Amino acid sequence: MKDFIVGVVITAFAATALLWLIPTQVAPGYGGGAALSPRFWPTVIAVVILLLGAVLSAQALLRLRRKASARETRTETAATPATAPESSPWAVWTAVFMLVPYYYLSLQLGLLLSSVLAYVAYSTLAGERNVASILAFAIAGPLVLTLFFIIVAQVLIPLGPLSSIY
């Protein structure tokens, strides 16, 4: 069922690209034939994705039908449900959404300070409870990286309020 829905979503995305995204976001070419237009290659890609999405949905539908007919002919037995592994979806979503404040803090405070804060947050979220280790790595890691990029790689890392230091 998962693959069927994914296939439908992919087909819908490709159709949107063909009908709206490409006509509005890519200017047509002038002369030289359709194949030389800037729209040509994205259109080819969108058509291929549309077809592949449809194939994926069709394959998933066929598998579902085969499973359904196999269930009808098989004698039902009580099956022990497989134990799903413990997982923490909320932790994943929290980790994903924490990227947003990390990004915006980087713009305001620079990469060094925001990375220190981000490291503390992510390490704590991962279950680390040794405060000394968290703080040691949170300060040492971003600091070493900052110094490496500024001094060795000659890349100016945005430091925000600390930029007066270097």
Partner 1 sequence: MINDVLAGLTLFIDPFSLIALAFGVLIGVFIGAIPGMSTVMAISIVLPFTFTLEPIAGILLLLGVYKGGMYGGSISAILINTPGTPAASCTMLDGYPMAKQGRARAALEMSLYASCFGDMISNIVLILCAAWLASFALDFGPPELFALVVFALIIVAGVAAQQIVKGFIAMTLGLGLATIGRDLITGTERFAFGNVDLSGGLSLVPVLIGLFALPEVFQIYRERHGAPKIQLAQIGRQGMGLKSFLSHWRTLLRGSVFGVILGVIPGLGPTPAAFLSYGSARRKSKDPDSFGKGNIDGVAAAESANSAVGGSSMVPLLALGIPGDVISAVILGAFMIHGLQPGPLMFQSNIDIIYALFFGLIAGALLLFLIGKSTIPLLSRVLNLRSSLLLPMVLVLCVFGSFAVNKSMFDVLVMFSMGVFGYIMVAYDFPRAPLLIGFVLGPLLENNLRQSLLMSQGDWAFFFQSPISLLFWSFTLIYLAVSVTSRYRKSRN
Q: Which residues bind partner 1 (CB under 8 A)?
A: 2-3, 6, 10, 17, 21, 25-27, 29, 32-33, 35-36, 38, 40-42, 45-46, 48-49, 52-53, 55-56, 59, 85-89, 91-92, 94-96, 99, 102-103, 106-107, 111, 115, 118-119, 122-123, 125-130, 133-134, 137, 141-142, 145-146, 149, 152-158
Closest CB 78 distance from partner 1, rounded Å: 28
d(CA 113, CA 94): 20
- State the maximum Cα–Cα separation within the chain, in Å, rounded to a whole number: 76
Which CB, 81 or 89, lies closer to partner 1?
89
- DSSP annotation of 84 reads P
Would you state the structure tokens that stand for residue 122, as one six-digit string?
A: 């992510």
Which CB, 69 or 88, lies closer to partner 1?
88
Q: Which residues contact 122 (CB under 8 A, 6 or more apart)?
A: 95, 98
Which CB, 71 or 78, lies closer to partner 1?
71
Closest CB 61 distance from partner 1, rounded Å: 13
Whole-number CA gyration radius for the chain: 26
Interhelix angle 99-125/131-147, nearest 10 degrees: 140
Closest CB 136 distance from partner 1, rounded Å: 9
Which CB, 6 or 61, lies closer to partner 1?
6
- DSSP annotation of 29 reads P
